[in-house]
A = this chain, B = another copy of it.
Amino acid sequence: MTQNATAYHHGDLRAALLAEAAAMIDEGGTSSVTMREIGRRLGVSRSAAYRHFADKSALLVAVAAAGFDRLRERLEAVGAGDPDAGIERLPRVGRAYVRFALENPGHYRLMYGKEAITREDHPELRDVANGLFDELVSIVRSYQESGTIKRQDPHLQAYVAWGAVHGLASLLIEGQILTAVDVDGLIRQTTATLLDGMRARR
Protein backbone atom coordinates (compact mmCIF):
# COMPACT_ATOMS: atom_id res chain seq x y z
CA MET A 1 0.00 0.00 0.00
CA THR A 2 1.41 3.31 -0.95
CA GLN A 3 -0.63 6.15 0.54
CA ASN A 4 -2.88 5.00 3.33
CA ALA A 5 -3.48 7.10 6.41
CA THR A 6 -0.82 5.54 8.64
CA ALA A 7 2.24 5.46 6.47
CA TYR A 8 5.87 5.18 7.35
CA HIS A 9 7.48 8.01 9.17
CA HIS A 10 5.23 10.97 9.03
CA GLY A 11 1.76 9.60 8.83
CA ASP A 12 0.64 10.65 5.42
CA LEU A 13 3.05 13.22 4.18
CA ARG A 14 1.65 13.31 0.69
CA ALA A 15 -1.78 14.42 1.87
CA ALA A 16 -0.23 16.82 4.36
CA LEU A 17 1.84 18.41 1.61
CA LEU A 18 -1.22 18.90 -0.56
CA ALA A 19 -3.20 20.41 2.30
CA GLU A 20 -0.41 22.72 3.41
CA ALA A 21 0.32 23.89 -0.13
CA ALA A 22 -3.36 24.56 -0.70
CA ALA A 23 -3.59 26.55 2.53
CA MET A 24 -0.53 28.61 1.64
CA ILE A 25 -1.86 29.27 -1.84
CA ASP A 26 -5.07 30.77 -0.52
CA GLU A 27 -3.25 32.67 2.21
CA GLY A 28 -0.45 34.32 0.32
CA GLY A 29 -0.85 33.42 -3.33
CA THR A 30 1.04 30.91 -5.39
CA SER A 31 4.28 32.83 -5.07
CA SER A 32 4.28 32.35 -1.32
CA VAL A 33 4.42 28.59 -1.73
CA THR A 34 7.92 27.34 -1.13
CA MET A 35 9.12 23.79 -0.87
CA ARG A 36 11.29 24.77 2.06
CA GLU A 37 8.52 26.62 3.86
CA ILE A 38 6.10 23.74 3.44
CA GLY A 39 8.72 21.50 4.98
CA ARG A 40 9.20 23.88 7.87
CA ARG A 41 5.48 24.07 8.56
CA LEU A 42 5.12 20.31 8.53
CA GLY A 43 8.21 19.78 10.66
CA VAL A 44 9.92 17.93 7.90
CA SER A 45 13.11 18.54 5.98
CA ARG A 46 13.22 20.78 2.94
CA SER A 47 13.45 18.07 0.33
CA ALA A 48 11.11 15.56 1.90
CA ALA A 49 8.43 16.51 -0.60
CA TYR A 50 10.54 15.15 -3.42
CA ARG A 51 9.68 11.61 -2.35
CA HIS A 52 6.08 12.33 -3.30
CA PHE A 53 6.26 14.88 -6.11
CA ALA A 54 8.79 15.13 -8.89
CA ASP A 55 9.14 18.86 -8.41
CA LYS A 56 7.31 21.93 -7.21
CA SER A 57 5.28 22.15 -10.38
CA ALA A 58 3.99 18.61 -9.91
CA LEU A 59 2.85 19.52 -6.41
CA LEU A 60 1.01 22.57 -7.72
CA VAL A 61 -0.59 20.50 -10.44
CA ALA A 62 -1.87 18.08 -7.83
CA VAL A 63 -3.27 20.96 -5.81
CA ALA A 64 -4.98 22.35 -8.90
CA ALA A 65 -6.42 18.93 -9.68
CA ALA A 66 -7.85 18.73 -6.18
CA GLY A 67 -9.31 22.18 -6.73
CA PHE A 68 -11.05 21.05 -9.88
CA ASP A 69 -12.52 18.12 -8.01
CA ARG A 70 -13.86 20.40 -5.32
CA LEU A 71 -15.27 22.81 -7.87
CA ARG A 72 -16.97 20.00 -9.73
CA GLU A 73 -18.56 18.75 -6.53
CA ARG A 74 -19.82 22.21 -5.74
CA LEU A 75 -21.34 22.68 -9.15
CA GLU A 76 -22.93 19.27 -9.12
CA ALA A 77 -24.37 19.87 -5.67
CA VAL A 78 -26.03 22.99 -6.97
CA GLY A 79 -27.73 21.29 -9.87
CA ALA A 80 -25.32 21.38 -12.76
CA GLY A 81 -26.06 17.75 -13.43
CA ASP A 82 -29.83 18.00 -13.11
CA PRO A 83 -31.53 18.64 -16.45
CA ASP A 84 -34.87 19.37 -14.80
CA ALA A 85 -33.72 22.37 -12.84
CA GLY A 86 -35.39 24.88 -15.15
CA ILE A 87 -34.49 28.49 -15.80
CA GLU A 88 -32.76 28.92 -12.47
CA ARG A 89 -30.10 26.40 -13.32
CA LEU A 90 -27.62 28.70 -15.04
CA PRO A 91 -27.81 31.48 -12.45
CA ARG A 92 -27.37 29.00 -9.63
CA VAL A 93 -24.36 27.38 -11.23
CA GLY A 94 -22.90 30.78 -12.02
CA ARG A 95 -23.30 31.91 -8.44
CA ALA A 96 -21.72 28.73 -7.08
CA TYR A 97 -18.84 29.16 -9.50
CA VAL A 98 -18.08 32.70 -8.41
CA ARG A 99 -18.45 31.77 -4.78
CA PHE A 100 -15.92 29.01 -5.15
CA ALA A 101 -13.48 31.43 -6.72
CA LEU A 102 -13.96 33.95 -3.93
CA GLU A 103 -13.50 31.35 -1.23
CA ASN A 104 -10.41 29.87 -2.86
CA PRO A 105 -8.77 32.73 -4.73
CA GLY A 106 -5.31 31.23 -4.88
CA HIS A 107 -6.71 27.91 -5.98
CA TYR A 108 -8.79 29.52 -8.65
CA ARG A 109 -5.89 31.50 -10.05
CA LEU A 110 -3.80 28.39 -10.08
CA MET A 111 -6.49 26.41 -11.87
CA TYR A 112 -7.26 28.90 -14.58
CA GLY A 113 -3.97 30.71 -14.98
CA LYS A 114 -0.90 29.54 -16.75
CA GLU A 115 1.72 31.49 -14.89
CA ALA A 116 2.48 28.87 -12.28
CA ILE A 117 1.47 25.81 -14.25
CA THR A 118 2.05 25.08 -17.90
CA ARG A 119 -1.19 23.34 -18.63
CA GLU A 120 -0.06 21.81 -21.90
CA ASP A 121 2.25 19.49 -20.02
CA HIS A 122 -0.57 18.11 -17.89
CA PRO A 123 -3.36 16.58 -19.95
CA GLU A 124 -5.11 15.37 -16.78
CA LEU A 125 -5.80 18.97 -15.80
CA ARG A 126 -6.85 19.83 -19.30
CA ASP A 127 -9.31 16.95 -19.26
CA VAL A 128 -11.00 17.77 -16.00
CA ALA A 129 -11.27 21.45 -16.97
CA ASN A 130 -12.74 20.46 -20.31
CA GLY A 131 -15.19 18.20 -18.51
CA LEU A 132 -16.50 21.15 -16.56
CA PHE A 133 -16.84 23.20 -19.72
CA ASP A 134 -18.70 20.37 -21.45
CA GLU A 135 -21.11 20.41 -18.54
CA LEU A 136 -21.77 24.08 -19.27
CA VAL A 137 -22.26 23.34 -22.96
CA SER A 138 -24.83 20.72 -22.12
CA ILE A 139 -26.68 23.17 -19.91
CA VAL A 140 -26.73 25.61 -22.80
CA ARG A 141 -28.08 22.86 -25.04
CA SER A 142 -30.88 22.04 -22.70
CA TYR A 143 -31.85 25.72 -22.54
CA GLN A 144 -31.93 25.72 -26.32
CA GLU A 145 -34.09 22.61 -26.45
CA SER A 146 -36.63 24.07 -24.10
CA GLY A 147 -36.76 27.14 -26.33
CA THR A 148 -35.49 29.46 -23.65
CA ILE A 149 -32.48 30.82 -25.50
CA LYS A 150 -31.46 31.43 -29.08
CA ARG A 151 -30.32 28.46 -31.09
CA GLN A 152 -26.79 29.46 -31.88
CA ASP A 153 -23.52 27.57 -31.66
CA PRO A 154 -23.72 26.18 -28.10
CA HIS A 155 -19.96 26.35 -27.74
CA LEU A 156 -19.91 30.04 -28.54
CA GLN A 157 -22.72 30.72 -26.12
CA ALA A 158 -21.01 28.65 -23.46
CA TYR A 159 -17.78 30.55 -23.92
CA VAL A 160 -19.60 33.84 -23.59
CA ALA A 161 -21.32 32.70 -20.40
CA TRP A 162 -18.15 31.25 -18.98
CA GLY A 163 -16.27 34.39 -19.89
CA ALA A 164 -18.74 36.63 -18.09
CA VAL A 165 -18.68 34.55 -14.93
CA HIS A 166 -14.95 33.95 -15.01
CA GLY A 167 -14.35 37.63 -15.63
CA LEU A 168 -16.47 38.61 -12.68
CA ALA A 169 -14.74 36.11 -10.43
CA SER A 170 -11.38 37.24 -11.70
CA LEU A 171 -12.04 40.95 -11.16
CA LEU A 172 -13.28 40.25 -7.66
CA ILE A 173 -10.32 38.06 -6.78
CA GLU A 174 -7.79 40.51 -8.12
CA GLY A 175 -9.30 43.32 -6.12
CA GLN A 176 -10.44 45.29 -9.15
CA ILE A 177 -13.95 45.87 -7.84
CA LEU A 178 -14.62 48.32 -5.06
CA THR A 179 -15.24 46.45 -1.84
CA ALA A 180 -18.31 48.59 -1.25
CA VAL A 181 -20.07 46.87 -4.14
CA ASP A 182 -22.64 44.23 -3.25
CA VAL A 183 -21.16 41.02 -4.55
CA ASP A 184 -24.36 39.01 -4.61
CA GLY A 185 -26.11 41.78 -6.50
CA LEU A 186 -23.30 41.86 -9.00
CA ILE A 187 -23.49 38.13 -9.55
CA ARG A 188 -27.24 38.36 -10.01
CA GLN A 189 -26.92 41.25 -12.43
CA THR A 190 -24.32 39.33 -14.43
CA THR A 191 -26.32 36.15 -14.80
CA ALA A 192 -29.51 38.06 -15.49
CA THR A 193 -27.91 40.20 -18.21
CA LEU A 194 -26.34 37.12 -19.71
CA LEU A 195 -29.55 35.14 -19.78
CA ASP A 196 -31.43 38.09 -21.16
CA GLY A 197 -28.88 38.55 -23.89
CA MET A 198 -29.12 34.92 -24.93
CA ARG A 199 -32.90 34.68 -24.57
CA ALA A 200 -35.01 33.72 -27.57
CA ARG A 201 -37.52 36.42 -28.48
CA ARG A 202 -40.65 35.40 -30.25
* Chain A contact residues, CB within 8 Å of chain B: 29-31, 109, 112-116, 119-120, 129, 152, 155-157, 159-160, 162-168, 170-171, 174-177, 181, 185-186, 189-190, 192-198
Partner of A119, one of B119, B165, B175, B194: B175
Chain B contacts of A29 at CB under 8 A? Answer: 114-115
Interface SS of A by simple majority: helix
Number of copies: 2
Shortest 3 CB-CB contacts between residues of A and residues of B: A167-B167, A197-B197, A193-B197
| Additional 16 contacts, C-beta under 8 A, given A109-B113, A160-B193 | A30-B115, A113-B174, A115-B115, A129-B176, A159-B177, A162-B167, A163-B164, A163-B167, A164-B167, A166-B170, A167-B170, A192-B197, A194-B197, A196-B196, A196-B197, A197-B198
Task: Kindly state the separation between the CA atoms of A30 and B31 in the bound complex, as whole angstroms.
Answer: 12
Chain B contacts of A166 at CB under 8 A? Answer: 167, 170-171
Chain B contacts of A190 at CB under 8 A? Answer: 160, 163-164
Chain B contacts of A176 at CB under 8 A? Answer: 112, 129
Partner of A159, one of B113, B156, B171, B194: B171
